[in-house]
Amino acid sequence: MIFQNHIAIIFACEACVYLLLNSYYAALDAVSTAFFKIIRQF
């Protein structure tokens, strides 16, 4: 029972890290896209 709970916690942590990385890369992509749009205007 304790072992199963431990595995569930590990999976939850991995999911959290994955979501954090996903949102980080999405924000980075949005910033770089906006940056290139600004550069092209000049």
The pLDDT of residue 8 is 87
Q: What is the mean pLDDT of residues 24-36?
A: 94
CA distance 25 to 21: 6
The first and second tokens of residue 32, run together, are 């770089």
Query: What integer best gives the mean pLDDT of the chain?
Result: 89
pLDDT at 10: 86
pLDDT tier at 18, thresholds 50, 70, 90: very high
- In this prediction, residue 1 carries a pLDDT of 60
d(CA 2, CA 9): 11
Please state the pTM of the whole predicted model.
0.55
